[in-house]
């Protein structure tokens, strides 16, 4: 399928048609999976509002079918849409709750995934002190910069990593 090989934009119209057919004909047995995959593809395509709507509906159906692991998967995606949309507080709220549920259900993978998303929502990029920067131009070999490199428009590649860059009065990191 298109989704399995990473072609989410190609999968979108097929998933939208499948969701419409399932709704029209009352085919509820696969509807939550279709909605979850549709939400995932919409998230990857940048349509966060539509993704949230489909993920919430998928979670409601999965909860009614008593599928806790699948609900967690949809909730994790929902939290990622909030984080990606700049609403870290909402993302952290969802992942904190989901992490506790994963722990209670003995789901280490779910707990680890939630811990990672929770950390991403709580940690400012500027708080990271040790990192690596690399780049690759065309088919050439990747180039690793020295550990924790900073610079503005490096001569050979034009890359930038500048901490405490002022953008409209906000402290940020310039990545180019």
Residue range 30-84, pLDDT digits in tens: 888 999 999 999 999 999 999 999 999 988 887 766 665 677 788 888 998 998 8
Cβ–Cβ under 8 Å, residues 32 and 61: yes
Evaluated on CA atoms 32, 21, 81, 10, the torsion sign reads positive
Contacts of 55 (CB under 8 A, 6+ apart): 35, 36, 39, 43, 74, 75, 77, 78, 81
H-helix or E-strand containing 76? helix 68-84
The per-residue pLDDT for range 86-110, each reduced to its tens digit, is: 888 999 999 898 888 888 888 887 7
pLDDT band at residue 126, thresholds of 50, 70 and 90?
Answer: low
């Amino acid at each position: 399928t298109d989704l399995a090989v990473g072609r989410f934009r190609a999968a979108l119209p097929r998933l939208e048609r499948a969701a419409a057919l399932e709704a029209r004909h009352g085919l509820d047995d696969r509807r939550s999976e279709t909605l979850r995959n549709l939400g995932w593809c919409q998230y990857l395509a940048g349509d966060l509002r539509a993704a949230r709507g489909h993920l919430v509906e998928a979670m409601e159906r999965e909860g009614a079918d008593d599928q806790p692991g699948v609900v967690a998967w949809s909730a994790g995606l929902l939290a990622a849409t909030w984080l990606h949309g700049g609403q870290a507080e909402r993302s952290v709220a969802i992942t904190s709750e989901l992490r506790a549920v994963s722990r209670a259900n003995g789901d280490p993978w779910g707990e680890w995934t939630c811990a990672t998303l929770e950390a991403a929502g709580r940690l400012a990029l500027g708080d990271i002190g040790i990192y690596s920067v690399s780049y690759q131009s065309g088919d050439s070999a990747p180039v690793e910069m020295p550990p924790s490199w900073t610079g503005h428009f490096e001569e050979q590649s034009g890359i930038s990593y500048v901490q405490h860059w002022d953008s409209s009065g906000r402290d940020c990191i310039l990545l180019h």
